[in-house]
Amino acid sequence: MRPQAPTRAARSLQKCLFRPAKSTQFRTQPTRAFTAHPPTHHNPSPSTVDATEVSHFNALASSWWDPHGSSRLLHLMNPLRHTFITRCLSTSPPASHTLRILDVGCGGGIFAESAARLPTTRAVTAIDPSPGVLSIAEAHKRRDPALMAPGRLTYVNTSIEDLPLPAKPADAFDVVTLFEVLEHVHAPGPFLTHLLPHVKPGGWLVMSTIARTWTSWVVTNLVAEDVLGIVPKGTHEWGKYVNAGELRAWFGKQDGWGEVRVQGVVYVPGFGWREVRGSEEWGNYFLAVRRLG
């Protein structure tokens, strides 16, 4: 994302003050963001990737694996990602004994690497449109011989629109993950539409994102970026945040999808990320939805 102008925070605050905190509409293009139909064949499509977001994260690539650097909060969140996925799989497990995972918007590979090391994982494919970040991911992968086994962890510099569709549903992935990505794309509906065919029947789409509320603007934009500086300036744009209710409503209109699960999480300075029931209404949260078998 391009750096915010000095008056941007004030404009966001003004819009937030005159808008209900739990609105189910987007600040811009409220009727278009979640309108799309699943693709029926593979053709490169107009990208939902924001080029300024790619540039922003490329600039942060060198510090991706520094646990005290710009990606510190992602490192701290990673254990909760696995906990949430495990809970989903424990009650509605895919048919596969070992999992094929697609990590969309993988960045430097924090989740992808950790998933590839699990004994329950057969293969991880991790994609990202940022070449600078993926070069860091590839270099870090080579430090672990176990990750160099053929097919164990494969990085691909592509967007979801240009990833070839599976030949048949059974060839899709058991788990598709989308962590801290949805709030960085142009239009969440068309973007999610391209993900759906990559989840096999019985599999899970698991994501994390941020609710678009007054509280989330204060925490992520004002405090995290401007006051404490624990998140690089320009990382978040409040107008791109997505409420859990919006996602529930959108998935409710998609044929063959159900069993939505949501878990709110809160970052507590000095203690890390903690699950907080109900916090999905105003801040960060995980959401998973299962493709019906």
Q: Is 26 annotated as a binding residue?
A: no
Whether 71 and 111 have beta carbons less than 8 Å apart is answered as: no
Alpha-carbon distance of 159 to 199, in angstroms, equals 16
Q: How far apart are CA 159 and CA 157, in angstroms?
A: 7
Report whether 180 belongs to an annotated binding site: yes
Question: Residues for the chain: how many in total?
Answer: 293
Q: Tell me if residue 154 falls in helix, strand or coil.
A: strand
**Known binder of ligand: residue 105?**
yes
270 is in an annotated binding site: no
What is residue 105's three-state secondary structure? Answer: coil
Evaluate whether 249 touches 24 at the Cβ level (below 8 Å): yes
User: CA torsion angle for 62, 63, 65, 66 (degrees, to 10)?
Assistant: 140
Residue 183 labelled as part of a binding site = yes
Per the annotation, binding residues for Mg(2+) are 180, 183-184
Per the annotation, binding residues for S-adenosyl-L-methionine are 81, 105, 128, 179
Per the annotation, binding residues are 81, 105, 128, 179-180, 183-184
